[in-house]
Amino acid sequence: MSLSVPSAPGVKSARTRGASAIVRDDPSTSNDFKSATTGVAAKAMRNELNRMVSEVKDTTQKKIFDLEMQSFFSLFNRYLMEKAKHEVINWDKIQPLAPELVPSYSDLPDTNDTSILEKLVVLKLNGGLGTTMGLSGSPKSAIEVRDGMTFLDLSVRQIEHLNEAHKTNVPFILMNSFNTDDETQRIIQKYANHNIQILTFNQSRYPRVGKESLLPVPRSATSEKSQWYPPGHGDIFDAISNSGLLDKLLEAGKKYMFVSNVDNLGADVDLKILKHVIDSQCEFLAELTDKTKADVKGGTLINYEGTVRLLEIAQVPSEHVEDFKSIRKFKYFNTNSIYIDLEALKRVIDTEGMELDIIVNNKIADDGTPVIQLETAMGAAIKHFKNAHGINVPRSRFLPVKACSDLLLITSDLYSLEHGKLVMNPQRMFAQTPVVKLGDTFKKIRDFNKRFRTVPNILELDHLTVSGDVWFGRNITLRGTVIIVANEGSRIDLPDGSILENKLVSGNVSIIDH
């Protein structure tokens, strides 16, 4: 069966089905609040959302917008109740996962059963912009990262090769945001003649909330983009259901979905992991990898009162942050790559609905007003599924590009490209990648490309720190620990062919042993 993207939502989540959830008062709501102030805030928000919905004239757009505002109000309502109750996680009840709930990838049996691919779809989270790397207005997936290819190019190449090699047809899905959809739709036209079926849907668009007023910042559904936000990747479950795509996938006989960040160049389809998901009847599998000192802020899976839960650093009481960062207590961190059973997802949405832990993101609006964004994380859904657990995967499956420091690694001689996947150079003697810290002068891709005439050879590099006005010539080799610091007012130019091994370079290129 050929899949097509539905043009209008036909599915409502369990908490909204059969009712115009915002419009109708729920008499139990106010009773749950600890204070009258909280009840007033909920009612005021509901009235504002109702007004905005009523002003949308186009029937189709009104239906979509109403559905989004219902989901938002459910999240906002829960936020108010939790805030009133001062609910915080009980640190004493947190335990690391038992070993059997984090099997090692290396212990999984090999498989040649490619028939299981017939029930698979692959989804990339494509809601982010490349703003932090200097590409405002463009999807991060459009950044060129290797051999003239973008994140999106590499992902498409991986799926295309998978389909060609195993004579199958795994669909490729992009969850866009209102920030990335238009440009992404334009970009994916170039794949029209490729052996790949590309589907897209949009995650929700939620209104920013005034921190003091607790009212929506936008005054209408057409208010400018900056007054809205995509509510984190935890929105994937509502969004794929509300779009109608979940039902379409199930009708087409698809059962499993592999989800990962579009900027994680190590996250490709792995038959061993998929077979483990099927054989263990696991409804939700999260890929974890060993925590290093560079990953101490990353979320992790925990045992909380007998249930597998995701714990993010934002949820940790301040007095326990150092405990959370401990590699000894929490050995793994969440890569944000998951396998999920689509039939189980449909069951959860239809029966209990998703109640994901709320992450409050404090921001400052363009006019200086403090605002909040209520967001959720995809991995938090693990608590809703049967036989859910983690798997300890090699670091090679987690190659994110969050900054130009990461870009240096993946464009270097450390890796080669094979069918869209980065493969570590076998001549690298250490399993771990080097630690690279580039200063603010390298923050934007434009500056990064100007300051590196060519990417240095870093096959034998352990650690690189660069700060200040530093310029790299061609064919430079860096080995061991290299620290380059140009003090304020100084400029360092490293000449073509330089070889720096365990060196500290400072001032005006004075080189000393380190």
Q: How far apart are CA 341 and CA 219, in angstroms?
A: 39
**Active site amino acids:** 402
CA 202 to chain centre: 15
The answer to whether the Cα torsion of 100, 102, 105, 111 is positive or negative is positive
> Buried b vs exposed e over 289-311: b needs ≥16 C-beta within 10 Å?
bebeeebbebbbbbebeeebbbb
- From the number of C-beta atoms within 10 Å of its C-beta (0-12, 13-18, 19+), residue 260 rates as buried
Q: ∠ at Cα 257 (252, 258), nearest 5°?
A: 145
In the chain, what are the helix, strand and coil shares in percent, each to the nearest 5? 35, 30, 35
* One-letter amino acid of 414: L
Contact 269, 290 (CB under 8 A): no
Q: How far apart are CA 451 and CA 192, in angstroms?
A: 36
Closest by Cα among 370, 353, 369, 352 to 361: 370
| Beta strands 120-126 and 172-176, pairing class | parallel
Contact 170, 281 (CB under 8 A): no
User: The tokens of 218 are what?
Assistant: 């936008």
CA dihedral 496, 497, 502, 508 (to 10 degrees): -30
> How is residue 298 annotated by DSSP?
S
Q: How far apart are CA 382 and CA 390, in angstroms?
A: 9
Helix (H) or strand (E) holding 80: helix 59-85
Written in H, E and C, the secondary structure of 353-412 is CCCCCEEEEEEECCCCCEEEEEEECHHHHHHHCCCCEEEECCHHHCCECCCHHHHHHHCC
Q: Three-state DSSP class for 84?
A: helix
Concatenated DSSP letters of 156-174 = HHHHHHHHHHHT----EEE
